[in-house]
Structure 1
Amino acid sequence: MASVETTPKGSVESNNENPTVVSNLDPAKSKGAEFVWTLQATWQLVRTRLAMDSEFDQPVCKKKKLWQTVAERVTVNLRSAGNQDITVKAYECDLKWRNMLATYRKNTERAKRLGAQSVHWEFFQAMHDILGKSREEVEAQKKLNGGKLGRAIAAKKFTPILPTPTLQPSAPYSARPPQDVLQLYLELQERKMNLWAQQKALEERKIEAINNLARAISSLAEENHSQLPKENSG
């Protein structure tokens, strides 16, 4: 059974454009691929392979065992999705990935010439996010992971050196009170003056009442005193 590529119409990946790629895991079996790569299966392969990219990138690694792990994980994911009769082999994953890498490189060159908007391959962005790192970024990441700093960060056995906070100069002290406090003080003084004026007016009324009472008593006493001689003469 021939391998079926799951790419949309107009995609760069096609059987006519790509050269025949043979897996080096099992040359005898890889001459005729038996597994039909549906869109779902292809996405499972892409996600699984990209998640293990750091393992494949190690200087010393057994690619055959890694591809066997990829095949097992893809098979488990497809079966959990309802495809119980599917079994993906390691060499099939390896062959499919090599074809996809060739298509990815062609689309990368196309994006450089015509811009990213010219690429319509559905797997390009997912692969480019992982595989599109520059060689300098990869080497820097390796040095970080392999050096003392990388091990310290991984073990979290370091104390970060934080920048010394700069003290902001305090505002100079002003003998003049703030405007709102001064306004409140003036209002209180005005209220005191009003109360004092009211109290003064009340005292003046009291004095005036006392004077009126004294005049009334004096007038009454004079009248009584003037009536006494008349009674005596009568």
Structure 2
Amino acid sequence: MASVETTAEGSAENNNYNPKVVLNFDPEKPKQGAEFIWTLQATWQLVRTRLAMDSEFDQPVCKKKKLWETVAATVTDNLRSAGSQDVTVKAYECDLKWRNMLATYRKNAERAKRLGAQSVHWEFFQTMHNVLGKSRQDLAAQKKLNGGKLGRAIQAKKFTPILPTPTLPSAPYSSRPPQDVLQLYLELQERKINLWAQQKALEERKIEAINNLARAISNLAEENHSQLPNESSG
């Protein structure tokens, strides 16, 4: 079914709101019912909601129709919370509106690339470019990596990166010996002192024994000498 949609988007050259008629065909679009009018408030709600789910749209784990239903429900809830109680946004309306805005964004992105960002006056551009511009740069870098020799080698698992061996920081030099070395030195000195004391005591015992032996010999000699005159007189 063909439908005529009136959008309130600005052109790629300025920020003026000029109605634009877009002819769309969507088999899921109902045949009856009033067409949703995208106000500035509703458009901002769509932009913020869709950009917040950009990673889910890039790597979807379900059909994108389900994602657009989530976007539509979020936009509807936000608009009703803001006071528009009779508003209901459909998933296909969000999808078509975003496609139109995406086309306008791409034109402005090319203009900004050629003439600079100051040449773009579309009020949604910077908000969309902060998310979509980064995504496009990451995608281009990934394609460049996959297309090069390095990317092919990594994909084929034939490339083993050799990482440099980290150098260990050298321990700071200190003139003072470690505590355990000092303790060992003191123990050795104490053992030497004890050994010297034992040797001294042994020498003193030897001297005392020699003195005792000398006194015993002297006493024995005196006794023998005193007995000799008595025997000669008898």
TM-score (norm 1): 0.52
Deviation at 1:136, TM superposition (A): 3.6
User: Counterpart in 1 of 2:72?
Assistant: 71
2:15 is aligned with 1:11: yes
Deviation at 1:104, TM superposition (A): 0.4
Deviation at 1:170, TM superposition (A): 5.3
Question: CA contact under 8 A between 1:70 and 1:90: conserved in structure 2?
Answer: yes
Deviation at 1:111, TM superposition (A): 0.6
Question: CA contact under 8 A between 1:4 and 1:37: conserved in structure 2?
Answer: yes
Pair 11,138 (structure 1): closer, same or farther in 2 beyond 3 Å:
farther
Q: Which runs of 4+ in 1 moved over 4 A?
A: 12-16, 27-30, 137-140, 163-173
* d(CA) in 1 for partners of 2:18, 2:167: 60
SS for the counterpart of 1:131 is: helix
* d(CA) in 1 for partners of 2:17, 2:112: 14
Pair 78,59 (structure 1): closer, same or farther in 2 beyond 3 Å:
closer
User: Counterpart in 1 of 2:22?
Assistant: 20
Residue by residue over 1:66-99, the C-alpha shift from the partner in whole angstroms, topping out at 9 and shown as x without a partner, is: 1111100000001111111111111111111010
| Number of corresponding residues | 149
* d(CA) in 2 for partners of 1:56, 1:101: 14
- The 5 A counterparts of 1:40-59 are 40-58=41-59
Structure 2, unpaired ranges of 5+: 145-164, 176-234
* d(CA) in 2 for partners of 1:138, 1:24: 33
SS for the counterpart of 1:20 is: strand
RMSD (CA atoms): 3.6
Deviation at 1:59, TM superposition (A): 5.7
SS for the counterpart of 1:22 is: strand
Residue by residue over 1:36-55, the C-alpha shift from the partner in whole angstroms, topping out at 9 and shown as x without a partner, is: 11111101000111111111
User: Counterpart in 2 of 1:131?
Assistant: 132
* d(CA) in 2 for partners of 1:168, 1:41: 64
Pair 26,109 (structure 1): closer, same or farther in 2 beyond 3 Å:
same
Letter in 1 for 2:92: Y
Larger CA deviation: 72-81 vs 58-67 = 58-67
User: Counterpart in 2 of 1:120?
Assistant: 121
Deviation at 1:61, TM superposition (A): 3.2
Question: CA contact under 8 A between 1:13 and 1:103: conserved in structure 2?
Answer: no
Deviation at 1:25, TM superposition (A): 6.2
More strand by share: 2
TM-score (norm 2): 0.52
Which of 1 and 2 has higher RCO (CA within 8 Å, sep 6+)?
A: 1
* d(CA) in 2 for partners of 1:136, 1:121: 25
SS for the counterpart of 1:3 is: strand
* d(CA) in 2 for partners of 1:61, 1:35: 26
Question: CA contact under 8 A between 2:108 and 2:120: conserved in structure 1?
Answer: yes
Letter in 2 for 1:11: N
Pair 78,121 (structure 1): closer, same or farther in 2 beyond 3 Å:
same
Residue by residue over 1:129-175, the C-alpha shift from the partner in whole angstroms, topping out at 9 and shown as x without a partner, is: 111132145679xxxxxxxxxxxxxxxxxxxxxx97975875987xx
Structure 1, unpaired ranges of 5+: 141-162, 174-234
Question: CA contact under 8 A between 1:26 and 1:91: conserved in structure 2?
Answer: yes
SS for the counterpart of 1:76 is: helix
* d(CA) in 1 for partners of 2:51, 2:27: 19
User: Counterpart in 2 of 1:86?
Assistant: 87
User: Counterpart in 1 of 2:62?
Assistant: 61
Question: CA contact under 8 A between 1:79 and 1:86: conserved in structure 2?
Answer: yes
Deviation at 1:100, TM superposition (A): 0.1
